[in-house]
Structures are given as C-alpha cells and as structure tokens.
Amino acid sequence: MSASQASIELVRAAAKAADELKATDPVAYDVADRLGICDIMLIVSANNERQVLAIAERIEHDLYVNFDRREPKSREGVAEGQWILLDFGDVIINVMHDDSRVYYNLERLWNDCPEVDLELPSPSEVED
C-alpha cells in the first residue's frame, strides 16, 4: 500500500511552505510499505538554526491554516535548531541544519523507497 492522496497533498503543502523560506534540497519518500507508522517522510535543509526554526514554524502555520487546523502530534528539536522533527501522523517532516543532514544522511535509509513528486518549481524555473 502506498501513501494516500491526503498525505501527498499535506507533504506538498509542507514542501511549498519550506520552499517559500528558501529551504534547500527538499525530498520526500513514500515509506508506507516499509515503515508502517507513516506514509511519507519529508526532508528539507537550511543553513542556520534560525532558518531551521523559521521553516518549521512556517510549515506548522500553513498546515494549521490550510488543513483544518492540523497540528503536529509531536515536535522535537525546537530548542537546538539543528534538526526539528514534526510528526503529523501520516507525514513526518524533518527540517535539518545542513551539517546535521550530512551527518545523519537520512536519505540512505529511504533511498530505495519511491520519491514523492513535491511539484515545486525547479531552480531554473525560479530564475526565469
């Protein structure tokens, strides 16, 4: 069983919110078949702690406003600003400092899972 359409819409909205605050290297994996506790894992990066926190806050705000007051079930790492994990149940969002992302390399855990198309503009489309 793969990710539900509702989960895909939620992760696309989260990725869009992160992109608006200049998050880098967004990638989402459909982990429904492998993990069982969620449908999709989203990973985005930022180059400093303040940006990590701002991106996480923007994601929470946008999902609350646009998805019927949806709030994370849990939130971890806010005080440190190196890796903030937002657990929305069917979608888990990782907002990571560039250094933490390189160190933990979460992609190696999920790279054999299908990627979810986030429908974000490519860098070349943004420059035009």
Residue 66's domain comprises: 5-116
Predicted local distance difference test score (pLDDT) of residue 69 = 96
Q: Is residue 127 part of a domain?
A: no
**Spatial CB neighbours of 96, under 8 Å, sequence gap ≥ 6:** 43, 44, 45, 46, 52, 82, 83, 84, 104, 106
**Residue 126 pLDDT exceeds 60:** no
* Predicted TM-score (pTM) above 0.85: yes
CA distance 9 to 6: 5
Q: Is residue 20 part of a domain?
A: yes
Q: Is residue 85 part of a domain?
A: yes
Q: Is residue 126 part of a domain?
A: no
Percent of the chain, pLDDT > 90? Answer: 90
Q: Is residue 68 part of a domain?
A: yes
CATH number at residue 25: 3.30.460.10
Question: In 10 A of CB 25, how many CB atoms?
Answer: 12
- Report how many domains make up the chain: 1
Q: Is residue 15 part of a domain?
A: yes
Q: Is residue 123 part of a domain?
A: no
CA distance 64 to 48: 25
For the chain, give the mean pLDDT. Answer: 94
Q: Is residue 122 part of a domain?
A: no
**Residue 124 pLDDT exceeds 80:** no
Cβ(110)–Cβ(26) under 8 Å?
Answer: no
Q: For 79-103, write each residue's pLDDT tens digit.
A: 999 999 999 999 999 999 999 999 9
Q: What is residue 103's three-state secondary structure?
A: helix
Percent of the chain, pLDDT > 70? Answer: 95
Strand order of the sheet with strand 91-97?
Answer: 24-30, 40-46, 91-97, 83-87, 74-76
